Amino acid sequence: MAPSELARLHAIVQGIVQGVNFRYYTSRRAAELGLAGWVRNRPDGTVEVVAEGPKPALDALLRWLYTGPPSADVEHVSAEWQAATGEFTDFRIRYS
């Protein structure tokens, strides 16, 4: 895939998104979509996601973030689109 066809999604998810396996399900969904990047809990109670890959796959991940796993209650998702850097080789859960 040409670098011009790749993008980066940076999203912050607000609501009841910690303690409900949000990171696990996000990493699983991102891997299913063939995306690379990471997800982590933030000290303010939100979840942060950085993912790179084809724009259609990123769009699918973003749509999923608005719902999340069954036990989550997503109130708001802020998303920012950036140029892909190619720095990631897989999708991981970050713990810091």
As annotated, the active-site residues are 23, 41
Backbone Cα Rg of the chain: 12
Tokens of 31: 């891997």
Tokens of 71: 């036990």
Residue pair 90/35 in contact (Cβ under 8 Å)? The answer is no
Q: Considering only CA atoms, which of 57, 7, 52, 71 is closest in space to residue 39?
A: 52
